[in-house]
Amino acid sequence: MDANINAEGSRLTPGRFAIYTLLVLVALYYLAPLYVMVTTSLKTLDQIREGNLLDFPLQPTTAAWGKAWATACTGVRCEGLQPYFWNSVKMVIPAVLLSSLIGSLNGYVLAHWRFRGSNVVFTALMVGCFIPFQVVILPMARLLGMAELANTTSGLVVVHIIYGVAFTTLFFRNYYVSVPEELVNAARIDGAGFFTIYRRIIFPLSLPIFMVCFIWQFTQIWNDFLFGVVFGGSDAQPVTVALNNLVNTSTGVTEYNVNMAAAIIAALPTLVLYMVAGKYFVRGLTAGAVKG
């Protein structure tokens, strides 16, 4: 009977064929822009001007990639894309780690250490998730100026930590609610304190939700443009700002292959991250869905 069920389940029925065909078409539709970007970045300017957008490179060359990595302009000054890329790396790593750690502690408190006004605090943090970027620009600029962090990479790290804590707290709080209260109470009876419970019980269970926060925060911070262009100085701007400056720099000839190569370089870290850790993102989102 099991063999018959498996045989029927593996049979390609007309309905299943239609579903597979639809999925393939949707996948091709979403992958088409990536194909155009990659192939255009490998073409010469002559082929781009004379050929079709979907043509495969006749003489593939990586010269545009080298030029995109080596020439990005900020104002009247042109430098390499490389320093801006590393500015983003230096900004995103500490911002992701610190905002996730702070959100983890906040979520732990709001889930298992109730205090008077905790619901008000949680509601205020939720409101923070929906505050537009533009609302915080002026007060944040004032704060960075008072702290002497304006136009620095450290200032951008502070901005992204502050703005990201609301999201990470929400993720961790909803996840930690699924940790049995009896487990925490038993540790308290045994004499364990706040940080002991967190270190011995809560933190070891937090890997799935940490992966969610890492991926979420990395994507948001790496792709941010507004905070980078407003709070980043000429030497501290992230790669997204450099990409915008490169694409909009007027040199008389629009080098589409260089622009496409630069766009892929800027998007590559998040693309690789989702390819490597995307399954952990889905698992982490569903791990705390059921309180048990």
> What is this structure's pTM?
0.84
Residue 78's beta-bridge partner residues? 73
Q: Residue 3 is which amino acid? A: A
Q: Where are the beta strands (DSSP E) in 9-146?
A: 72-74, 77-79
Rounded CA separation 234/152 (Å): 9
More confident residue, 290 or 161: 161
Q: Which of 107-116, 236-245, 273-282 has the lowest mean pLDDT?
A: 273-282
Residue with the two structure tokens 């906040």: 106
3-class secondary structure, 78: strand
> What residues does CATH 1.10.3720.10 cover in the chain?
77-287
* Average pLDDT value over all residues in the chain: 85
Q: Does domain 77-287 have CATH number 1.10.3720.10?
A: yes
* pLDDT value at 183 more than 70: yes
Query: What residues have CB less than 8 Å from 68, skipping those under 6 apart?
Result: 41, 81, 246, 258, 259, 261, 262, 265
pLDDT band at 278 (very low <50, low <70, confident <90, very high): confident
Percent of the chain with pLDDT over 90: 33
- Mean of the pLDDT values across residues 162-167? 90
Rounded mean pLDDT, 17-24: 92
Asked if 72 and 80 count as a contact pair (C-beta separation under 8 A), the reply is: yes
Fill in the amino acid letter for 97.
L
